[in-house]
Structure 1
């Protein structure tokens, strides 16, 4: 049997293949080999030096407007290859077309937004941060500024969003003037690598501005220096390794972490069966459980409803989940595709078993046959809804994130109890609230804000307008405290803060005027 093609890495301004056997990427439905990735033998120190010396320097010689124009060109180029990306996503990620679009079109939309926002920053090369403040009776002032950091931006990304995961970080980094080195998760690295290849082949960005390392991440953190930044998305366990790495401690490397998140959907007491708010909760729960087979860091994991509503909610959610067909995404009748690998399949099965020790199974789609997929080969798991009326005693539900189409329904006594249960996630990316009482919704949103990066409030009047519990919009913050990692991405131009250094220039008014800000 012929060996699958080895995807090259792009480092030091040229394509280089690893010297090892590499890791084989598989079709998660068919189990067939697709391509291989390998980074063995790459000189990472030279890679990083080249990115800083060539890539960041060239980007920072440009204005924000000029860098924004580059982002616009990248976005336009990627649009022309949209069909190829969809095919790769189907083969390597096992996603149906709508789920592939969440990743690919989400990436393109984010790129386009930062291109537009960057153009509005004009021809400056640094950003004014607030107004000058007087330091003395004489004309001696302090002007805070933000200037691009002279290092590089290292991205260690997760497997679930190979397109969006790259560009939602790279767009603000490149706009800020920092060269990017991306290390995609091995299992789904093909789409990331192909996008980088298309951009490199088009010659849009300066040499060294965009590099990719596929395969093992060994040695990546060792090569970081003081003015570099690292952004990690993945498990809390691996995040702890990143945080504790000697290079980060020794050089005070700036780090952004997105880790585990037990996100909640909370129906307030007025969201009773038969009301539009109740129906919106049910619809959003089913959508979040099934989009990308539940492999979203923002997906709903815990559903909080009043005790009196528990039975009706369980019935309504289960009825909709029963209509979800799972299997081969190439079959038009399939609504939900596969997990990314059999390894992830095993992890989800183990997670369900763990949750089932604390909650009963209310709907188990795994009893239904898969569509056009061999259950012994395919990494397909149909939706599983668990539930318990004893939310206080079900500790595993508040501790264990099952990264798949799995959620748990929990009953609460009153609103303070519901808010306390949501906070037992110990810090999450997002919570969503459902109801029609503006005052109660507002108070509840503020009560959850300290423990959540985003609070998504769904009322009947925004039924058709709201962007979705799990959709990460570039205009809004993405990140969360505590267990969620303590990171912050996107949020419009707030994302540029991570890639800039804030400094106070203390001088006379003529000198401050000469800064050109």
Structure 2
């Protein structure tokens, strides 16, 4: 039997008492490891983290906690090669895609280590200026932010076992809040290995970092009022979390990042020979194929003027024909696998639903695989769908196929007295009912700025790509620690990262009303 990956709770490694769930190589089909959390004393583990880990972290200054993050970065860099091997075996990713997860995580940790240095030798933060409460200025109110006296339970999705861990853990630890991470079972190996390496290095105080590998049953029952939950995953699971008594009755703070039908939008008057259309085509293909489309920020809908529909389809399909799919260990393969047979079945099901209302412009489902057995490998080629009637075909705005699938759709260009506007495109983008990101493509700075503000109310991030930043922009789907990650409505209504803004979730805001002599001591 393969290795069993234990959980780490209450300051010690622990195995569950069940048979466990197997983790597989999604290309070769080999069993890699097993995880099981059956019978673990979760209440004990949470209490240990709160009492031991929380107290130790809060005793440190922001600068001291930042140095801990910097030390974690060094440990992770020492083991990068091992992480890449695990990602290939357990996630089926090519090296480029593994880098997004692994190196992206290390970069995010390093960014928060540097940000923490700027906060200095403090253990709490001031929030704004003091405010007078009456005519006499002696008695005023000052808002402060102090670390919450609970744990941060981080429940992560399968697609980013490295980045998903550290983009949540970094601001939590910097804030002085202990972390308990629950990785998605199917790809838990990489998360487990990283946590093990950090724990064995002895960087963090006992209880500051814990991990639960296996079923999440009972995990939310262990939460108390000052704990916080950060969740990434499906809207269905998010709804279950929101209705759990810990959240609904004990007011445990929760941050949700869920489904998102993200858009890419080409502005009007961008002729086929303009640089904006090739930029759109390149970014769409990149987002369809990186991590085999298994990204919450990937482009799902591509909105172009109806006059450029055919040109856009031709440009995107030409690039998709160059994408090779199969075993990520083969240097000729550009796109690897989905993470599991279950995920492959889900993608095929969603694709079939969308195909009922669209035309298939490029069929990747029938694409031959390189160095992989289609009966075993969880591989599917990129598929581009299309519709000239996005108003009448509602499913394209509702169904997120979490794989290498996108839908091209045309919008009507509205002719004004002196201009052509993209109002119809904005309406279509908003039919996603709240998304993590939309990207805009064009060459007119004024039009791009106007469009960005039009979409800002329904998107957590608006990524604007014009010819002058063609070689500089960070990518539609890349989540940078300096910028907000999250989105309204269907996307979950949550906020992560955004520089030091991420720390707000792990702090409690309170108003201290006192004499100016007292407030000056703050």
What TM-score bracket applies, with the shorter chain setting the length? over 0.9
1:120 maps to which of 109, 118, 121: 118
2 CA distance for matches of 1:446 and 1:120? 31
| 1:380-395 equivalences in 2 (<5 Å) | 380-395=379-394
1 CA distance for matches of 2:154 and 2:189? 16
2 CA distance for matches of 1:284 and 1:147? 41
Cα distance, 1:233 vs. partner? Answer: 0.4
1:449 counterpart = 2:456: yes
Instruction: Write the deviation string for residues 280-325 of structure 1: whole angstroms up to 9, x where unpaired.
Output: 0000000000000000000000000000100111111011001100
1:97 maps to which of 95, 98, 114: 95
| 1:418-457 equivalences in 2 (<5 Å) | 418-457=425-464
Cα distance, 1:439 vs. partner? Answer: 1.4
Cα distance, 1:254 vs. partner? Answer: 0.2
Instruction: Write the deviation string for residues 93-147 of structure 1: whole angstroms up to 9, x where unpaired.
Output: 0000000000000000000000000011000000011111111122111111100
Instruction: Write the deviation string for residues 473-514 of structure 1: whole angstroms up to 9, x where unpaired.
Output: 000000000000000000000000000001111111110112
| 1:368-517 equivalences in 2 (<5 Å) | 368-414=367-413, 415-515=422-522
- 8 Å CA contact 1:270–1:437 kept in 2: the answer is no
1:219 counterpart = 2:218: yes
SS in 1 for 2:128: coil
User: What are the ranges of 5 or more consecutive residues in structure 2 without an aligned counterpart?
Assistant: 414-421
1:302 counterpart = 2:301: yes
Cα distance, 1:270 vs. partner? Answer: 2.7
1 CA distance for matches of 2:270 and 2:435? 23
2 CA distance for matches of 1:340 and 1:368? 18
2 CA distance for matches of 1:367 and 1:499? 47
1:266 counterpart = 2:273: no
1 CA distance for matches of 2:314 and 2:350? 23
SS in 1 for 2:37: coil
Cα distance, 1:272 vs. partner? Answer: 2.3
Cα distance, 1:273 vs. partner? Answer: 1.2
Q: Which stretch of the first structure deviates more once superposed, 394-403 or 130-139?
A: 130-139
Alignment correspondent of 1:140: 139
2 CA distance for matches of 1:352 and 1:76? 42
- 8 Å CA contact 2:124–2:146 kept in 1: the answer is yes
1 CA distance for matches of 2:504 and 2:471? 33
SS in 1 for 2:386: strand
2 CA distance for matches of 1:372 and 1:321? 19
1 CA distance for matches of 2:315 and 2:472? 23
- 8 Å CA contact 1:13–1:207 kept in 2: the answer is yes
1 CA distance for matches of 2:424 and 2:309? 15
Alignment correspondent of 2:284: 285
SS in 1 for 2:409: strand
SS in 2 for 1:488: strand
2 CA distance for matches of 1:164 and 1:323? 28
Cα distance, 1:90 vs. partner? Answer: 0.2
2 CA distance for matches of 1:151 and 1:272? 56
Alignment correspondent of 1:253: 252
Instruction: Write the deviation string for residues 174-206 of structure 1: whole angstroms up to 9, x where unpaired.
Output: 000000000000000000000000000011000
Query: If the length of structure 2 is used for normalisation, what is the TM-score?
Result: 0.98
1 CA distance for matches of 2:514 and 2:276? 57
Instruction: Write the deviation string for residues 156-184 of structure 1: whole angstroms up to 9, x where unpaired.
Output: 10000000000000000000000000000
Query: If the length of structure 1 is used for normalisation, what is the TM-score?
Result: 0.99
- 8 Å CA contact 2:367–2:380 kept in 1: the answer is no
Alignment correspondent of 1:36: 34
Q: Could you list the runs of 4 or more consecutive aligned residues of structure 1 that deviate by over 4 angstroms after TM superposition?
A: none
| Number of equivalent positions | 513
1 CA distance for matches of 2:345 and 2:318? 26
- 8 Å CA contact 1:270–1:436 kept in 2: the answer is no
1:71 maps to which of 64, 69, 72: 69
2 CA distance for matches of 1:394 and 1:26? 37
Instruction: Write the deviation string for residues 241-300 of structure 1: whole angstroms up to 9, x where unpaired.
Output: 000001111110000000000000000013221111111000000000000000000000
1 CA distance for matches of 2:275 and 2:14? 56
